[in-house]
Amino acid sequence: MRSELTRFSVVKSLLKNRWPQLFGFIVMLAGFLYAIMTGFIGTPVGNNNFSTVFVWIAWWAILILVAVPFFGRGWCAVCPIPLPGEWIQRGAILEPPSRKPRRLNLRWPNKLRNIWLQNLTFTLVALFSTVILTTPKVTAVVLAAMLFLAVGMSIVFERRTFCRYLCPVSGFIGLYAQTAPVELRVKDKQVCITCKGKPCYNGSAAGYGCPWDVFPGGLTKNTYCGLCMECLRTCPNDNIAINLRPFAADLGQPSRKLDEAFKAFIMLGAAMVYAGVLLGPWGELKSAAYSVGTVAWFGYVMAFLAFIFGLLPALFWLAVKLGQVLSKSNVPARHVFAAFATALVPLGLMFWVAFSLSFVLTNASYIFIAFSDPFGWGWNLFGTAALTWQPYLTTALVPLQTLVLVGGLLWSVRTAQKVGREVKIQPVPVIVFSMLVTLVMLGLLL
């Protein structure tokens, strides 16, 4: 059940035209550089600085509550981080230049063509997140580091290597993009097979080869398609479509990759840890997470890593193993483990939505204050600097979180059932696992 959006000529020409996208890019890049600047030279008070408030409250709210669930990698389509590097790599801002610039354009090593590095970079950011979230200078350092790393990688490697293999945000957006009701797919695979030159992958005068190193003809899920629209521009056969589809359509084809499975564990576990540490009443935990370099912080790091890479996967593995025993299955446990981890994708997304609702609704009023006084220097640009802090919808928050978490569990149950059908293994133990972690999350948030 799909509805092609690109059949409407207005939509198609809007997506093919480079100017609207460039406008979006430039607005985002300006905001991004502004966030770096305010972080470096503005007030060190996190909730009064544009950098921390806009990145971790406004941007995060839009990303996790709207962009990822409804548009998948829609954010990646306008993300400013790879832009400067890409412009240098291409030697152009809009259409491909007549003469290709001389760049190294190295291929990313085969052994690293997975998301293990993204798992690592996300975990690193997560371990320091209490400091990053609350300290404008550290936020600015992280944003600037991402920008420089992306530029450096674009100069050395081909395409968007940073986005595809290193960006800590891209990894989880890709994972959760599978649930989005939007997809880019080819209309007829046969056309791609017979297409000469494969301009969607290799580029042509009409556009660049896929910056995400994906051959659109082989796309079966949203994980690695950055929705940059280059293939829509380069396809000589009008064979690329943007479709509306049911939510979570990709989850019917479970992953067999351990790196993707562990991404699901990292995200699920991190949401639970944050719910306890940041939103719980335990001051010692918050201090431990914040006091980087102290014994308490190392204790927090060990507990964080043990929970995400040890306890959660171990319990899940036991559930999978039990399912195998019940079904008398000989399918390799590694495959089944990775396949069933797909059931944690909707659950993890809903955990993040529930966590973020609380965090964002409580702190959203800082957005208006920081908008008028971005540096915390006493400005009042739009007349909102004098507003006082006020949490929003506190009475609706808990019922809303309950609905989100229970809905996530139901979604996870449905996904586990589908995966069970695919791998021919009883999904009930995995469903019990999902239920138990949901109960823990309910206990932490309610």
Partner 1 sequence: MKLSREQCFYIILAGLAGALIVFAPLPVRVAPPSQRTFRVEASQFAYSPAVLTVNAGDTVTIELVSTDVVHGLYVDGYGASVTADPGQTVSLTFIANEPGSFRFRCNVTCGALHPFMIGKLQVGTNTLLWRAVGLALLAAFSGVALFPRPATVKAV
Instruction: Please tell me whether residue 446 binds partner 1 under the rule CB under 8 A.
Output: yes
CB atoms within 10 A of CB 16: 18
Q: Give the Cα separation of 228 and 400 in Å (integer).
A: 33
Which window, 16-24, 46-54, 77-85, 199-207, contacts partner 1 (CB under 8 A)? 46-54
CB-CB neighbours of 302 under 10 Å: 11
Interface with partner 1 (CB under 8 A), residue from 11, 30, 45, 314: 45
- Residue 75 Cβ, how far from partner 1 at the closest point, in Å? 23
List the end-to-end C-alpha distance of the chain, in Å, as a whole number. Answer: 37
Q: Which amino acid is at 245?
A: R
Q: How far is the CB of 327 from partner 1 (least distance, A)?
A: 6
Q: Does 405 engage in binding with partner 1 (CB under 8 A)? A: yes
- For residue 387, the one-letter residue type is L
Least Cβ distance, residue 58 to partner 1 (angstroms):
14
Q: How far apart are CA 122 and CA 309, in angstroms?
A: 13
Minimum CB distance to partner 1 smaller for 167 or for 423: 423
Choice from 119, 129, 135, 234 touching partner 1 (CB under 8 A): 135
Nearer to partner 1, 66 or 446 (CB): 446
Residue 414 touching partner 1 (CB under 8 A):
yes
**Spatial distance between the Cα atoms of 179 and 72, rounded to a whole number of angstroms:** 7
Beta carbon nearer to partner 1, 286 or 321? 286
Tell me how far apart the alpha carbons of residues 15 and 21 are, in angstroms, rounded to a whole number.
Answer: 8
Residue 318 interacts with partner 1 (CB under 8 A)? Answer: no
Please state the closest distance from residue 435 (CB atom) to partner 1, in A: 4
For residue 338, the tally of other CB atoms under 10 A from its CB is: 23
Nearer to partner 1, 105 or 291 (CB): 291
Compare residues 303 and 432 and give the one whose CB is closer to partner 1.
432
**Is the Cβ–Cβ distance between 349 and 63 less than 8 Å?**
no
Residue 74 is a binding residue for partner 1 (CB under 8 A): no
Strands 3-4 and 240-244: antiparallel
Nearer to partner 1, 8 or 389 (CB): 389
The residue among 174 and 420 lying less far from partner 1, judged by its C-beta, is 420
3 counts as binding partner 1 under rule CB under 8 A: no
Q: Are strands 240-244 and 182-186 parallel, antiparallel or unpaired?
A: antiparallel
Give the binding range for partner 1 (CB under 8 A) out of 16-24, 175-183, 197-205, 436-444.
436-444
Site size for partner 1, by CB under 8 A? Answer: 57
Nearer to partner 1, 43 or 119 (CB): 43
Contact between residue 401 and residue 446 where contact means Cβ atoms under 8 Å apart: yes
Beta bridge partner(s), residue 244: 3, 182
Nearer to partner 1, 161 or 438 (CB): 438
Binding mask 279-308 for partner 1 (x = CB under 8 A): xxxxxx-xx--x------------------
| Binding residue for partner 1, selected from 67, 222, 362, 374, defined by CB under 8 A | 362
Burial of 194 (0-12, 13-18, 19+ CB in 10 A): exposed
Rounded Cα distance, 259 and 115, in Å: 6
Residues 6+ apart with CB under 8 A from 175: 223, 260, 263, 264, 267, 345, 348
Residue 268 CA to residue 270 CA, distance in Å, equals 6
| Residue ranges in contact with partner 1 by CB under 8 A | 45-48, 130-131, 134-135, 278-284, 286-287, 290, 326-328, 359, 362-363, 366, 389, 391, 394-395, 397-399, 402, 405-407, 409-410, 413-414, 417, 420-421, 424-428, 431-432, 434-435, 438-439, 442-443, 446
